[in-house]
Amino acid sequence: MKKLYIVSLIIIMMLLLVSCAESSDDDNNTLTADYIHPSHIYESSHDGQEISFSLDKGVNWHFSDKRLAEFDVWNINVNEEVPGMVFFYATSYEQLLEEVEKNKMTTFYSYRYLDNNGWNKLLDTYTEEYFKDNILLFYYKYEPNISENYVYNIIIKDNSLILNINRFEGMCTALSSWVEFITIKKIDAVDITEFNVVVRTVSELKSLIVLYVNEAYMRDIYVNGLTTSDFPGLNNLKSVSVWTWGVMIDIKFNETISDKRLNDIVDILKTSENIRSVGYTSNTWIRVTINNKFFDKYQNNTLTLDDVLDDKIENSYNFTMDILKFTPIAQITLEMEQHGREYSEAMINQLKELKYPFINYEYIN
């Protein structure tokens, strides 16, 4: 009897565990009428119907902001996922009064948020007359950098409205905020029961890939450069350019020369194939960056001023030079035929497969 009791108890426990697991799976996989997963909202954000919107209370109407005809998307946040955002909608003046009261203060640190005067102006601008034909969408976004936000478009799908906001990731460290008062027509949103926001971090289509040079090949790249022929088997490659940090020298006149003589010397140096660029100039000395063809002579400590001037400047026998301390640095830039993040990622993956020896793969991503 005791063994039978133990066996029965084990069977009951197993049945309970199976039942709980099935219940848990049902809870996780079922979307209730009150909850739509953010991924479903994003999927709808680019396959619904565009409706017109206005940012100036109906004076001008748009279907989308085409400042970027095409763009790469680097990050997506939906509704509550969006940090530092206040979003609400109002279909009537009474609803606007309620939303203003609820949103007068933010639950997060904000910058240049509406104060009492701002809210009062909002209520004075969007009156009962306005709401006869229109719906107001309010969008505020705090940014810790100068990251511009703009209304890209508004999509209607089934009973859902999706406000698509594009933002550029800011590089300047300064607080910023972005506020939009968006008007849509009630006739375009008759059956809408859900209002959503999708905020996408975007950029121009990626067209370039920057690579760093393997130190062992630095000399070859300084002297010979690179062309597309150095990348056999690499798809989607349009052009190759190499940037190098040049050897700089100071040409000392060892006397004070006239402005006219200085200008004549500068003109000669600017047109010389031995000189990459002319920097600081004075009546006593000039700083120039020399051509990479002198790289070996620099490395071997055999570089002379005669090599650089090449007898192009008269009466320069008193001139001397100081060679500045130099560390070779080079970057390779690949331009793609087809632009975009997906093409960039495909090229980087192919570069890793092809394993060109002159690339420093430690810094490729």
Exposed/middle/buried for residue 222 (C-beta within 10 Å: 0-12, 13-18, 19+): buried
In angstroms, the CA 289 to CA 278 distance is 6
Tens-binned pLDDT, residue by residue, of the chain (365 aa): 444 344 344 444 444 443 333 433 443 332 333 444 454 555 555 678 999 999 999 999 999 999 998 999 999 999 999 999 999 999 999 999 999 999 999 999 999 999 999 999 999 999 999 999 999 999 999 999 999 999 999 999 999 999 999 999 987 889 999 999 999 999 999 999 999 999 999 999 999 999 999 999 999 999 999 999 999 999 999 999 999 999 999 999 999 999 999 999 999 999 999 999 999 999 999 999 999 999 999 999 999 999 999 888 988 999 999 999 999 999 999 999 999 999 999 999 999 999 999 999 998 87
State the pLDDT at residue 280.
Answer: 96
DSSP assignment of 242-264 equals EEEPPPEEEEE-SSPPPHHHHHH
User: From the CB of residue 308, how many other CB atoms can be counted at a distance below 10 Å?
Assistant: 23
What is residue 154's predicted lDDT score, i.e. its pLDDT?
98
Q: What is the pLDDT of residue 329?
A: 96
Per residue in 202-215, pLDDT tens? 999 999 999 999 99
pLDDT reported for residue 24: 38
Q: pLDDT at position 46, please?
A: 60
Quick count: other Cβ atoms within 10 Å of Cβ 247?
24
pLDDT at 311: 87
On whether the CB atoms of residues 328 and 218 are closer than 8 A, the answer is yes
Instruction: Write down the pLDDT at residue 269.
Output: 96
Give every CB contact of residue 361 below 8 A, 6+ residues apart in sequence.
Answer: 352, 355
pLDDT at 93: 98
**How far apart are alpha carbons 266 and 65 in whole angstroms?**
49
Measure CA of the first residue to CA of the last residue in the chain; give whole Å: 68
Determine the Cα–Cα distance for residues 362 and 206; give it in Å rounded to an integer. Answer: 21
Looking at residue 350, what is its pLDDT?
98
d(CA 44, CA 106): 29
Burial of 207 (0-12, 13-18, 19+ CB in 10 A): middle
Enter the pTM of the model.
0.76
- Taking the mean position of all CA atoms in its chain, how far away is CA 271? 38
Give CA separation, 133 vs 15, 51, 63, 84, 122, in Å.
Answer: 59, 15, 18, 30, 17
Q: Other C-beta atoms within 10 Å of 77: how many?
A: 18
pLDDT of residue 172: 83
Burial class (CB in 10 A: 0-12, 13-18, 19+), 179: middle
